Amino acid sequence: MLAAPCTGPGAPTTTQTRCLTAVLIPGNPLRSFDISWVNPERAEFYFADRSNAGIGVIDTHTLTFKRNLGGFVGVQLNPNGTVNNNISGPDGVVTHGRWVYGGDGNSDLRVYDLDAPSASAFKQKISTGGTTRVDEMALTGDGELLLAANNAEDPPFVTLFAANGDRNFSAVSIIQKIKVDNAIMPATFGLSIEQPAWDPKTKRFYTSLPVVANNPPGCNYGQLAGPITCHGGLMVTDPTAPTATVGAFNPSTNTGVVLLNACGPNGATVGPNDNLLLGCTPQNNPSDTTTLVINAKTKNFANIGNITGSDEVWFNKGDGRYYTGSSRACGLGGGCPNGGAVLGVIDGTSVLIEKIPQSTNSHSVAADSKRNLIFVPQVGAAQLVGAGGDTTTVGAGICGFAQDPTKSKGCVAVYIHRVKKDKDRDRDDEHEHEHEGEGHDR
């Protein structure tokens, strides 16, 4: 008899963000996945499920699995049997209206029509011209422009696409391939480009650059022996005037690379008041052990202590909070409890609220703003899936396999932060948790 979901360290009773349930994914056990996305208007959650070579779709009303949009290359392995993220797919995922866009491990952008049956949903693929994955991406608010990163190329680049907007046919095309100036991101050192975010007020894409040269001057970005000591940057792109090569930041045009303080970012998300929260991680620079919030207009910033190691980050306007998929919350190397992964919760004023343990390598998160549900994929147990699987008991408890972790195939955990209308979004009502069936739109 399998245990019920939401038990153990990943479902504490003292947190404001509570584990509600877990959605099991049919098919292969979850060994590898990447980015998540939510379209609250369609009440759908999407995640890049490499283990099943497709974009998994979950209904956020009923909290049930709907379908898998397949055709991606799936999990690709290194010679030692570990997952090669650079050529596996899908990777990045974004949606607008009826369209979902997924990055594949062979450098293709794949386009699916959500209004079509699964058998005919795939509509188009466009190569970005690389040999490795199309990774994280962002769309403008109207869905007309898409920016996608080829993070594993050397040098890495982003591609600006004309996307489908609200049209009923697919006609995606490339507008401009964009790279960072070699003086800022030198080639042959494995430097990367990560998650972009779209800010509708400044009308710019803001893209995380994990490590850039000379930040601070004389730092090691890989040209020297020893640990990386350079911090990252933030690439600001005006999609109406894209350039093939991006240089140093130009305040007059609000474009170029902004140098960051004590942050090597992976994730990026736009929060209130034009503030961007960046998912800094010591994986990029061992000394970067905080999370950064920077204002898109002024470039003023603040560092948030006691939370680090994030990949995907998400702002949920439904409760005014940021959520972080922090797979390296305890830093690099061994010694981290519970695998070092947590779901981080930060309020709109950039104050850390809580950290909730997650399964090994939990790095993907997205929230449904209409229902205040937070979705966090969990890998299967290492005993079942091998290298890359969960080496803790956390995922088994969340997914509902605590009695026998070897049977755990992984799941998508569903958390909830209950808020009352006409109340301060960040004031958690102490009595609301006594009645788990109240106030939840399903």
Report d(CA 308, CA 331) in Å as an integer. 7
* Per-residue confidence (pLDDT) for residue 424, from 0 to 100: 43
* Residues ≥6 apart with Cβ < 8 Å to 359: 10, 339, 341, 378, 379, 390, 392, 394, 395, 398, 410
Q: For 354-374, what is each residue's pLDDT tens digit?
A: 999 999 989 999 999 999 999
Query: For residue 144, is it within any domain?
Result: yes
d(CA 217, CA 215): 5
CA–CA dist 181, 433 (Å, integer): 52
Strands (E), 60-156: 64-70, 93-96, 99-103, 108-113, 122-127, 137-139, 145-150
Q: What is the mean pLDDT of the chain?
A: 92
Return the exposure string of 402-438: e unless at least 16 CB atoms fall within 10 Å of the residue's CB, then b: beebeebbbbbbbbbbbbeeeeebbebeeeeeeeeee
Residue 390 lies in a domain: yes
Q: What is the mean pLDDT of residues 198-213?
A: 98
CATH, residue 312: 2.130.10.10
Range from 248-262, 384-398, 419-433 carrying the lowest mean pLDDT: 419-433
Structure tokens that stand for 234 in this block: 């933030």
Minimum mean pLDDT range among 30-34, 130-134, 276-280, 404-408:
404-408
Helix (H, G, I), strand (E, B) or coil at 384: helix
The residue among 353, 339, 364, 375 whose CA lies nearest residue 21 is 375
Mean pLDDT for 380-396 is: 92
**Structural domain contains residue 381:** yes
Average pLDDT (335-347) is: 74
How high is the pLDDT of residue 123?
98
pLDDT at 108 over 50: yes
438 in any annotated domain: no
Return d(Cα 414, Cα 374) in angstroms, integer.
Answer: 6
Is 5 contained in some domain? Answer: no
Residue 245's beta-bridge partner residues?
179
pLDDT bucket at 6, cuts 50 / 70 / 90: very high
Q: Which domain holds residue 59?
A: 18-433
What is the per-residue pLDDT across 263-317, written as a single tens digit (0 to 9) for each?
999 999 999 999 999 999 988 999 998 999 999 999 999 999 999 999 999 999 9
**Position with higher pLDDT, 423 vs 208:** 208
Give per-residue pLDDT as tens, 412-422.
999 999 987 64
Total domains, the chain:
1
User: Is 393 a member of any domain?
Assistant: yes
Task: Give a yes or no: residue 395 inside a domain.
Answer: yes
Distance CA 125, CA 138 (A): 17
Strand runs (DSSP E) across 40-114, as ranges?
Answer: 44-49, 54-59, 64-70, 93-96, 99-103, 108-113
Is residue 23 within 8 A of residue 412, CB to CB? The reply is: yes
pLDDT at 3: 65
Model confidence at 337: pLDDT above 60? no
Q: Is residue 6 part of a domain?
A: no
Q: Does the pLDDT at position 236 exceed 70?
A: yes
Which residues, listed in sequence order, are joined to residue 303 by a DSSP beta bridge?
Answer: 292
Number of helices followed by number of strands (H, E) in the chain: 2, 29
pLDDT digits 0-9 by tens, 21-38: 999 999 999 999 999 999
